[in-house]
Homo-oligomer: A and B are copies of this chain.
Amino acid sequence: MSNKLLECVPNFSEGRNKEVIERIVDPFRKTEGVKLLDYSADKDHNRLVVTVIGDPEGLKKSVLEAMAVAVKEIDMNNHKGEHPRMGAVDVVPFIPVRNVTMEEAVELAKEVARQAAEKFNLPVYLYEDAATSPDRQNLASIRKGQFEGFKEKIKKPEWKPDFGPAEVHPTAGVTAVGARMPLVAFNVNLGTDNIEIADAIARKVRYIGGGLRYCKAIGVDLKERGIVQISMNMTNYTKTSLYQAYELIKVEARRYGVNVVGSELIGILPAQALIDVAVYYLGVENFSEEQILENRLLWG
Contact = CB atoms under 8 A, between A and B. Distances in A.
Contacts of A284: 262-265
Contacts of A281: 243, 246, 277-278, 281
Given A275-B274, A275-B275, A296 B282 contact: no
Interface in A174-191: 189
Given A268-B292, A292-B268, A282 B277 contact: yes
A270 interface: yes
Contact of A261 (B53, B268, B269, B283): B283
A4 to B, nearest CB: 14
Given A262-B283, A283-B261, A298-B297, A291 B268 contact: yes
Contacts of A35: 297, 300
Interface in A273-289: 274-275, 277-279, 281-287
A275 B265 CA distance: 12
Given A242-B282, A298-B297, A298-B298, A271 B275 contact: yes
Kindly report how many copies of this chain are found in the complex they form together.
Answer: 2
A283 B263 contact: yes
B282 A243 contact: yes
Contact of A282 (B246, B282, B294, B298): B246
- The prevalent SS among residues of A at the interface is mixed
B267 A297 contact: no
A208 interface: no
Interface string A1-40: 0000001000000000000000000000000000101100
Interface residues of A, number: 42
Contacts of A243: 281-282
Interface string A238-274: 0000110010000000000000111111011111001
Nearest to A186: B282
Nearest to A264: B285
A38 B295 CA distance: 13
Contacts of A67: none
Contacts of A300: 35, 37
Interface of A: 7, 35, 37-38, 53, 97, 189, 242-243, 246, 260-265, 267-271, 274-275, 277-279, 281-287, 291-298, 300
29 contacts: A35-B300, A37-B293, A97-B293, A189-B285, A242-B282, A246-B281, A261-B283, A264-B285, A264-B286, A265-B287, A265-B291, A268-B292, A268-B293, A268-B296, A269-B291, A269-B292, A269-B293, A270-B292, A271-B271, A271-B275, A271-B292, A271-B293, A271-B294, A275-B275, A275-B278, A277-B278, A278-B278, A278-B281, A294-B295
